[in-house]
Amino acid sequence: MALTFTGERFLPTCEGEMVYEHWHRYLFAREHVAGKRVLDVASGEGYGSALLAEWANSVTGVDISSDAVRHAGERYGSAANLKYLCASCARIPLPDASFDVIVSFETIEHMTEHEAFMAEVERLLAPGGLFIISSPNRVEYTDRTGYKNEFHVKELDGPELRALLNAHFPAQHWFAQRPCFHSMLWSLEGPAVEARVLAVDGVDAYPVELYYLVCCAKDASVLEAIVPALSLVADRHHSVYQEWSRTYAENRQLTEKVAMLEKRLEATSVEEAPSVFRLFNRLVRSVLNFFKS
């Protein structure tokens, strides 16, 4: 069966910046699952669990949507070390200490049972296990923009997320994530040995975190393998930049069109101007405002 994109969960057929946001998290997690038993909580379409299964000993994807689980099983279930299970994040019918790594990306904002979810993660994680979680930063994602995601029921800010995790996992390594336009400059003589993010004035300019990604454990030694590195997931085909460039060009053309129409209107009284001319002017203004928003 095929899933239809509704905005509730990411699909590999999606386009734009969300592609890189979602894949980036799983690419990060992939570095820490080799030979491990992995649980992917809120596995959605199933693409991330399938990616992790290429490296892990075994992967179980859990999602509350029976349609998503059925789709994932049909599309990715041929892998012997990968299976999908329909269950609530707050009550997962699997034995204690079953997993070495648990990942859960963009999950907790879709539910209110945060404590129950954390208790399940703690129960299912084996001694010495690693929990990797991501969550939107409510202050930047919603409060500042005024955007309301209809599928989010309880978003957290940074301190709220930290308080939730502190009660269960005293060892934490925090990362920030945000899609950005950038100019990449890299050595062709070998791998990078340092990373900097600069504004055009040469001053460090890391953006405000739109998402948090946190590596958690009971034992701080588990996090020794987590490197405080900067990673980029590149748009190989430059599709997002090309779309931005197209939109920018259309915006510029519409601005010029509006300026020309305004000059014509200044030379003609409103009563004398044909009604279709006035309607066209308003239409152009509406489209221009759309591109500026």
Q: Tens digits of per-residue pLDDT, 107-148?
A: 999 999 999 999 999 999 999 999 999 999 999 999 999 989
46: alpha, beta or left? (left if phi > 0; alpha if psi -120 to 50): left
* Distance (Å, whole) CA 282 – CA 221: 63
Residues in contact with 160: Cβ distance below 8 Å, sequence separation at least 6, in sequence order: 138
| pLDDT at residue 226, rounded to an integer | 95
The single-letter DSSP state of residue 241 is H
Residues in contact with 165: Cβ distance below 8 Å, sequence separation at least 6, in sequence order: 118, 133, 172, 214, 216
| pLDDT at residue 286, rounded to an integer | 62
| pLDDT at residue 256, rounded to an integer | 78
pTM for this prediction: 0.81
CATH class of domain segment(s) 17-234: alpha beta
| pLDDT at residue 244, rounded to an integer | 64
* Distance (Å, whole) CA 162 – CA 234: 29
For the record, the structure tokens of 197 come out as: 């993010």
pLDDT < 50 regions, the chain: 276
- Neighbouring C-beta atoms of residue 208, cutoff 10 Å: 10
Structural domain boundaries in the chain: 17-234, 240-292
